[in-house]
Amino acid sequence: MTDALLTAHAVTKSFGATAALRGADIAVSAGEVVAVMGPSGSGKTTLLHCLAGILRPDAGEVRFEGQRIDRLSERARTLLRRDRFGFVFQFGQLVPELPAVENVMLPLILAGVRRSPARLRAEELLDRLELTGLLARLPGELSGGQAQRVAVARALVSRPDIVFADEPTGSLDSLSGQRVMDMLVDAARDQGAAVVLVTHEARVAACADREVVVRDGRADTLVPS
């Protein structure tokens, strides 16, 4: 894809003697939702982490807006993840000491946004996810589905260019899972964000524009959704 926002080419990554990726290729455009699927141990999460700049590939290249992010310093990649990317993980990974609204505000506060507009933006997203009455609750006081929706709001609060989601509905019931997917798809449609999500669930993949199948560390098979 010549107009791709994010690309990976011939990416390899090993952990000790175990090869997780063996020349993976993928391209994602702005406004596109891509589901990354494949059997357990195929390298899906490793690919996601390389695309997001969490892991540095052993070989190959990862480009965001044409820039090689695999060559950036750790600090530069950290700033990129803070300012341009959003993340949703399977179990939320919320800050346990902060109430729901402040967990959502956190990316904006770290980026220097004043507390008042940061709170307004956080409350707007939490309201869309039907969590208005839970703003003051700590993560330990939320159900699994509620905590995951807070994590989605946190991922979207800074209007990122790309949202990376690793099994975002894996711990949710079908109704909560659908709400989460609706928000992620809306981010792509309304904000022009790209969404890259790892999932085992066919119903989740059905919400995507394309499926990328990872097998034996390769991600070069595209299956129309």
Q: What number is the average pLDDT over the span 70-77?
A: 94
The reported pLDDT for the residue numbered 12 is: 95
Q: What is the pLDDT of residues 190-213, one digit of tens each?
A: 888 899 999 988 888 898 999 999
CATH class of 1-84+160-225: alpha beta
**225 pLDDT more than 80:** no
Q: What is the pLDDT of residues 141-162, one digit of tens each?
A: 998 888 888 998 999 999 999 9
Global pTM? Answer: 0.89
The reported pLDDT for the residue numbered 223 is: 46
Q: In this structure, how many other beta carbons lie within 10 angstroms of the beta carbon of residue 129?
A: 21
Helix (H), strand (E), coil (C) string for the chain? CCCCCEEEEEEEEEECCEEEEEEEEEEECCCCEEEEECCCCCCHHHHHHHHCCCCCCCEEEEEECCEEHHHCCHHHHHHHHHHCEEEECCCCCCCCCCCHHHHHHHHHHHCCCCHHHHHHHHHHHHHHCCCHHHCCCCHHHCCHHHHHHHHHHHHHCCCCCEEEEECCCCCCCHHHHHHHHHHHHHHHHHHCCEEEEECCCHHHHCCCCEEEEEECCEEEEEEEC
Q: What is the pLDDT of residues 174-184, one digit of tens each?
A: 887 888 888 88
Q: In this structure, how many other beta carbons lie within 10 angstroms of the beta carbon of residue 70?
A: 21
Q: Of the ranges 2-6, 68-72, 126-130, 140-144, which is most confident?
A: 68-72
**126 pLDDT more than 70:** yes
Crossing angle between the packed helical segments 100-110 and 144-156, to the nearest 10 degrees: 20
Q: What is the pLDDT of residues 12-70, one digit of tens each?
A: 999 999 999 999 999 999 999 999 998 888 889 999 999 999 999 999 999 999 999 99
- Average pLDDT score over the chain: 89
**222 pLDDT more than 70:** no
